[in-house]
Structures are given as C-alpha cells and as structure tokens.
Homo-oligomer: A and B are copies of this chain.
Amino acid sequence: MSDAIVKQIEEQGNEVRRLKGDKSSTEDAKNEAIQKLLALKLAYKEATGQDYAAPNARQSKPKKEEKPKEKKQQQEKKPDGKKQTLLGVGTKKDENYSEWYSEVITKAEMIEYYDVSGCYVLRPWSFAVWEAIQAWFDSGIKKLGVKNCYFPMFVSNAALEREKTHIADFAPEVAWVTRAGQSEMAEPIAIRPTSETVMYPSYKKWVQSHRDLPIKLNQWCNVVRWEFKHPTPFLRTREFLWQEGHTAFANPSDAEKEVFQILDLYAGVYNDLLAIPVVKGRKSEKEKFAGGDFTTTVEAYVACNGRGIQGATSHHLGQNFSKMFDISYEDPAKEGERAFAWQNSWGLSTRTIGAMVMIHGDDKGLVLPPRVAAVQVIVVPVGFKTENKESLFDAVDKVTKDLVAGGIKAEHDLRENYNAGWKFNHWELKGVPIRFEVGPNDLAKNQVTAVIRHNGEKRQMSLDGLSEAVKTLLDEIHDAMYQKVLAQRDSHLKTTTCMEEFKKLLDDKCIILSPFCGLPECEEEIKKASTREDGEGAQMGAKTLCIPLEQPKQELPSKCIFPSCSHAAKAFALFGRSY
C-alpha cells in the first residue's frame, strides 16, 4: 500500500518540478500540482505514521518522533566526582525551532518521551503550569455557577454516532477498546475524543421542564484523538488533558452570553497567566466545531515560525445536539409543543503549555511567566569559602523561608556537587523568572542580587521588605514579557487586500487581516493559492485563524481578497499558517 503511494509521490514530484521549469504553465496549474503532492504525502503519513522522506534521505533520516539528541542529556563524570551535565540548548531557536523545542522541553524536565507513539509524560515542571491554569480557570467558572463532575471515558458506538456531522469529524481518530483480559467484547467501545455524546444522553434525562435549566457542568479529564499526523509534545498528542464545559439553557441569549464569558476567561488564561496576547474571534464556517452553530476562539502568534496557534475554543451548539439527543421539555409558551435546549461546549487543553514554551523560550531554554512558574525565585549561594560557607548557607535558607512565608514560590539550591555557574545555567534552562545570588558582599550590604530570566537584567534588592518587592517585580516581569510578545506579534500582524502581497507577507512569517466572504470554498482556494513547495518540503497554505471580534478601524472593502471570488467581503478575517 505505502509502496504505491511512494510511486505516486515520486511521479507527482516530477510533475511539480516540470511545471516549475515550464514558463508557460499557469500559477493555478502549479498550485494544483503542489496541492496534490501534499495530499499524497499526507496519505503516506497516515498509512505509515511517518513523514515521507525522499529516497536518498529515507534510509538515514531518523524517525522524527524519537527523542532528539539523547546523548547530549547524558551526564559525564569529572575526575573530582562532580557531575557535569552537558547543559544548555544545543540548537538555536531561529535556526531550527522544531529541534530547539524538543531540546528545551526535555532538558527543562517538562516532558519525558514514552514508548507509545504520540503519548508523553508530563513531569512536575510542566504539570505545575497546568495546575496553576486549573486553579485560576476553575475558580473563574465556579463564579459563573459551573459545577465539576465526571462522566465515563467510554462511549458506546450508538451514542457516539448520534450526531452525524460531529462524528464525521472525529471518527477517523477514535481509539476503540475491543478486548478485556482474554475476552473479545461483543461491542467495541470507544474512548472519548470529546464528551458531547457521552454527556447528552444524561442531559436528556435531567431535563423535564424549563426549571431544570440551565445545566452548567465541567470536567477536567483526559481525551484521546488518535491522530496520524506527526505528533509533538503538548501541541499534538494522542492523549491530552483538558477541561470541557457543557452547558444547556432555556433560551439562546443566555447561552450566547456565556460563550463570550468563557472566551474572556480563556483570554485571561493567556493574558493574565501566560503573558501571551491573543486575538478573540469567531471561527470561519470551514474551521468551526462540527455540529455546532458557531465557534469562538482565542488565537496566539508564534514568532519563530510565523504561525497562528489556536488557544482555546468556546462553542455555541445551538439546538443541533439537543435535537439529536432530545434534550427538551414542554414549551411553557406553546402548549403541546416541545422546546429544545440551547447548548454550549468549551475546552482548554495542555496545548497551552506548548504555546507558552514556543512563544517565550529563548536560546538559553525555557522562560516561565511568573504566575505559572513552579518556582518563581531560585536562591543560589555565591562567592563563599569553606570558612564562611555555613553562615552563608544559613542566610540563604533564611532568605528563602522569608520569601515562602511571604507567599512567593521560592526554593534554594544548596547542592555541593555543582558550582554556581552550573546552577545559573541549570535554572536559566528551566526558566525560573528570578535568580537571587546571595554572597557575603551582598549580605554585608543587607541586599541580594536579582537576575531576571527573560532579559538578563541584574539589580540589587534590599533584604528589608523583600517579599513585597519581589511580588512587584514578578508583576513587572509578567507585564514586560507580555509587552515583548505583543510588540513581536503586532509587527507581524499586517492588513492587505491584495492576494500577491498576502502570499509574500505569509512567507515573511506574518499573520494577515484581509477582507473575506466567509465561504468554505473560497477559504479552500486561498489555502491552495498560498501553499508553497520550498526546498525542504511543502509549506502549508494559510487558513483563517478567526474573524476577530474587534475589527480593524479601516473601512471594509467590498470585495473578498481572493481575486476570482465574486462574493462580497463580510468581515476582515485573520489568516495565517497555523498549528
């Protein structure tokens, strides 16, 4: 099977090269050929679980999802018995962001690779970020009256297939349990890819009257989507953690209001916790959640590769699911008629952590935004000799304990088998926002030296009122990190009405606001037109990231950006290459 695809890919590759060399061939013909080549490569990936590699590369190229540069992580032993880890990130972010990313998440001890493809271990260093997000968001939804619950992970086939549009989207990625112990099951059972079809049969039972509404439930759980695309820790994994909220209302306006309340909370996770600016918007018809009425989203920008990344989505399902699952009651307004509930669902996943790493990380490693950092301040003793070591270590211990008592997540590093330089590198790699260097000279002046991770700035801080000063500094760091990313994003956020400029901007790693008619066919054409075959392999086309809620101030042109589109522009859409 894959041999046949390989043959087709090779033939199509020749065709693309032929068209590129032929000056008489049209752009459309070239793009169509490239599109076909990409489709074949995707089919290859789906069949083999691996990226297609050209024949001369195929033998030597390692499987991409293998742990990168394992050797670099090995420890060497110095003659004095001190451990000497090959610290630091060996790849520059600008040069190869994909390899850089793998190095950072493993060396910063966020991820451990695992022997089931597409599954990864979330180590405490990354899980703490998730816990911070959970605590903040959970408290936010509880204020809206949402309650937590837990529904089973397993779905019967009958329930899963109830909503056809919905399942058409998910069916290719559903994992099936067919055996228990030594027994084959009579009916295979699916593992939830999302829980609409798990939950809504219960909602039907619970809704007898309009008084049983609203229902506002949320669960924190794992879901499984057995993707055949190239997996990436956090960003595309076969099992991931998320929260999924599922609410049902008696009238559409209450439901729609909540969609945007939740969207604001999602924006808050990015803005207020992760120090990442996001654009709030609606998904296009093509990109919305299958089976829902409309999808809202928060979209972030990843500068190193110029891609948009979907941050979290809040869907208004309308009455599509309530009609399929019969979540209804006797209409108090129209005797003898059934009224169907208006529903929402909304989800935020551990993908957030991947976005955070990609956006804030630098050539030294991870950079943690202060409000989600497991350790906000690492205290390191410096410049001591044997005779004053004990008193200095005591002082370091006291500084750390005072910070902890003041509500700061502080730890010290008193390990004796590492020198101060090694520790600096280690905690920079792990992205701790502030390093305190505590030495005899500083102490004599009643101060410590603070080194700020994200910009390398050094400053002296007085021991008096230190906790309060650190809190202020953490907020200052948060704001500065946010502003840095915002400036980066805004310098790559362009507006155009010209398709040729659009393609150029895309290759310049921009995300682009352009007038758009909203039709899926036209979005498909724009994607094709912006797909590009470069030296290394295919470069994907642009899709809409969202229709921003806040539209550009300039007047909307009458025409959709796509030259041959005959429809009027409905709004500015934000386009980009995307995760």
A172 contact from B75, B153, B181, Cβ within 8 A: B181
A149 contact from B122, B206, B211, Cβ within 8 A: B122
B-contact 0/1 string along A170-199, CB 8 Å cutoff:
011111111111100000110100000000
Cβ of A417 under 8 Å from chain B: yes
Q: Is the CB of B182 within 8 A of A172?
A: yes
Q: Is the CB of A83 within 8 A of B181?
A: no
A130 to B149, CA, bound (A): 10
Q: Is the CB of A179 within 8 A of B175?
A: yes
Cβ of A159 under 8 Å from chain B: yes
Cβ of A154 under 8 Å from chain B: yes
A391 to B227, CA, bound (A): 60
Q: Is the CB of B148 within 8 A of A112?
A: no
A94 to B155, CA, bound (A): 36
B-contact 0/1 string along A209-240, CB 8 Å cutoff:
10100000100011010101000000000110
Cβ of A124 under 8 Å from chain B: yes
Interface residues of A in 139-182 (CB under 8 A from B): 147-156, 158-159, 171-182
Q: Is the CB of A201 within 8 A of B115?
A: yes
Q: Is the CB of A151 within 8 A of B417?
A: no
**Which residues of B lie under 8 Å from residue A120 when comparing CB positions?**
152
Cβ of A202 under 8 Å from chain B: yes
Known: A154-B119, A175-B177. A205 touches B112 (CB 8 A): yes
Q: Is the CB of A202 within 8 A of B147?
A: no
A467 to chain B, nearest CB (A): 20
A153 to B159, CA, bound (A): 23
Cβ-closest chain B residue relative to A150: B122
**Which residues of B lie under 8 Å from residue A119 when comparing CB positions?**
152-154
A122 to B208, CA, bound (A): 20
Q: Is the CB of B177 within 8 A of A217?
A: no
Cβ of A121 under 8 Å from chain B: yes
**Which residues of B lie under 8 Å from residue A115 when comparing CB positions?**
156, 158-159, 201
Cβ-closest chain B residue relative to A130: B150
Cβ of A463 under 8 Å from chain B: no
B-contact 0/1 string along A259-297, CB 8 Å cutoff:
000000000000000000000000000000000000000
A148 contact from B131, B171, B206, Cβ within 8 A: B131
Cβ-closest chain B residue relative to A203: B112
A222 to B228, CA, bound (A): 25
Q: Is the CB of A83 within 8 A of B211?
A: yes
Cβ of A63 under 8 Å from chain B: no
Cβ of A42 under 8 Å from chain B: no
Cβ of A241 under 8 Å from chain B: yes
Cβ of A123 under 8 Å from chain B: yes
Cβ of A114 under 8 Å from chain B: yes
A173 to B128, CA, bound (A): 32
A180 contact from B124, B173, B181, B417, Cβ within 8 A: B173
B-contact 0/1 string along A353-383, CB 8 Å cutoff:
0000000000000000000000000000000
A131 to B146, CA, bound (A): 14
Interface residues of A in 74-106 (CB under 8 A from B): 75, 83
Q: Is the CB of A155 within 8 A of B221?
A: no
**Which residues of B lie under 8 Å from residue A224 when comparing CB positions?**
153
Cβ of A444 under 8 Å from chain B: no
**Which residues of B lie under 8 Å from residue A178 when comparing CB positions?**
176-179
Known: A147-B124, A181-B226. A116 touches B176 (CB 8 A): no
Q: Is the CB of A148 within 8 A of B124?
A: yes
Interface residues of A in 484-537 (CB under 8 A from B): none
A149 to B217, CA, bound (A): 25
A273 to B211, CA, bound (A): 33
A111 to chain B, nearest CB (A): 11
Q: Is the CB of B189 within 8 A of A154?
A: no
Cβ-closest chain B residue relative to A159: B115
Known: A159-B115, A177-B176. A121 touches B202 (CB 8 A): yes
A457 to B561, CA, bound (A): 75
Cβ of A127 under 8 Å from chain B: yes
Q: Is the CB of B188 within 8 A of A154?
A: no
Q: Is the CB of A152 within 8 A of B83?
A: no
A121 to B221, CA, bound (A): 13
A442 to chain B, nearest CB (A): 28
A464 to B427, CA, bound (A): 54
**Which residues of B lie under 8 Å from residue A180 when comparing CB positions?**
173-176, 226
**Which residues of B lie under 8 Å from residue A205 when comparing CB positions?**
112
Cβ-closest chain B residue relative to A186: B49
A319 to B353, CA, bound (A): 35
A151 to B120, CA, bound (A): 7
Known: A180-B226, A181-B171. A121 touches B152 (CB 8 A): yes
Cβ-closest chain B residue relative to A176: B179
A198 to chain B, nearest CB (A): 8
A281 to chain B, nearest CB (A): 30
A159 to B116, CA, bound (A): 10
A116 to B189, CA, bound (A): 8
**Which residues of B lie under 8 Å from residue A148 when comparing CB positions?**
124, 127-128, 131
What are 13 pairs between A and B in contact, CB < 8 Å?
A75-B208, A112-B202, A114-B151, A115-B156, A116-B154, A119-B154, A121-B150, A122-B150, A131-B148, A171-B181, A176-B179, A177-B191, A178-B178
Closest CB pairs A-B (n = 5): A180-B226, A124-B147, A119-B152, A122-B150, A176-B179
